Amino acid sequence: MTVPNDANAARKPPFLRSRDEYKTLFDSVDTFLLDCDGVIYHGPVVVPGVKRVLQMMRDAGKKVIFVTNNATKSRAMYKKTFDKLGIPVDEAEIFGSAYASAVYMREVLNFPEDKRVYVLGEKGLEDELDAKGIKRTGGTDPEDRVFLPSMDFSAYKPDPTIGAVLCGFDSGINYKKLCKAYSYLRDDPSVHFLLTNQDKTFPTNGTTYVGSGSLSAPLVFALQGKREPTVIGKPNKPMMDAIIAEHHFDPKRALMVGDNLLTDIAFGNNSDVRTLLVMGGVTHKEEVYGENPSEIVPTFVMESLGDLEQLLDN
């Protein structure tokens, strides 16, 4: 495999370009962990060649798992997205941070049945909590999606039924929600502080906007030195632990494929899983092969996951 020839080559990953390199990599993987936006599609457009590559993986008996930090969608909602794109996917193959958070709360925290979680998030996150039988409040509740008519802080009272605050992407975030969440975490140290993910931005249609991590930043900052959140999604290992627990695969025979060094590649690296960075997403080649490359180094780099389509050519 070709390694870039420069002074920093020792810490720069091979850039795969040939059919032989693709085949060597493909044959070494039993489980493909695939980020979605930037790897499988860009907004409403499927990455060229990816449909055939996914079918090739299935025909070869490879396990395919779609791993995303997007907490706005449940697995059922994500399946509808794939259906519209003409990509056959089983709901069990989808592992988003919304589902991972619900699994973590139920399986790891053993969240009490008599407690509720206060949600900063969308319907997809609520659906996954409901599927796991976790009681909730906040979220898309219209009462919490209205701005304060006045600075009346008497409305924020202790609520002994709240056992956790869970923050995801929330398009209806406002000062009222932040104050309620803060008051629960400030007044009761037993209330869990959870983030679905800490992404600064999220990619869509070839650009980026404010992400879940930026929206939860006011709470993290306000509680600094008092409370630290548990972050479920990429790049944190709890999400990989949850995926392995559910899908039972050998991490040494797995490959995490993504377009983001900070989330996808760090996620695999933190979990001792090999990583493949694909270009055309949020990462630029200079960040890997430039004079001052990122400290996060993928195992391999390719232009696109669709390039594996060459393996189907005779």
CATH number at residue 261: 3.40.50.1000
- Annotated binding residue at 37? yes
Domain tally, the chain: 2
Q: Residues with catalytic annotation?
A: 35, 37
125 is a domain residue: yes
78 is a domain residue: no
pLDDT tens by residue, 223-266 = 999 999 999 999 998 899 889 988 999 999 999 999 999 999 99
Q: Note whether 165 and 224 are same-domain residues.
A: yes
Q: Which domain holds residue 295?
A: 9-69+235-312
- Annotated binding residue at 259? yes
- Between helices 175-187 and 212-222, what is the axis angle to 10°? 50
pLDDT tens by residue, 50-73 = 999 999 999 999 999 999 998 999
**Which uninterrupted H or E stretch holds 103?**
helix 97-103
Q: Note whether 128 and 222 are same-domain residues.
A: yes
The pLDDT of residue 314 is 64
The pLDDT of residue 192 is 97
For tokens 């409040």, name the residue. Answer: 137
Q: Note whether 125 and 218 are same-domain residues.
A: yes
Buried b (16+ CB within 10 A) or exposed e, 98-136: bbbbbbbbeeeeebeeebbbbbbbbebbbbbbeeeebbb
C-alpha count within 13 angstroms, C-beta hemisphere, residue 209: 6
- pTM of this prediction? 0.84
Query: What 3-state DSSP class applies to 156?
Result: coil
Q: Note whether 32 and 119 are same-domain residues.
A: no
- Annotated binding residue at 127? no
C-alpha count within 13 angstroms, C-beta hemisphere, residue 143: 4
The pLDDT of residue 61 is 97
- Annotated binding residue at 35? yes
Q: Note whether 164 and 193 are same-domain residues.
A: yes
pLDDT tens by residue, 98-124 = 999 999 999 888 999 999 999 999 999
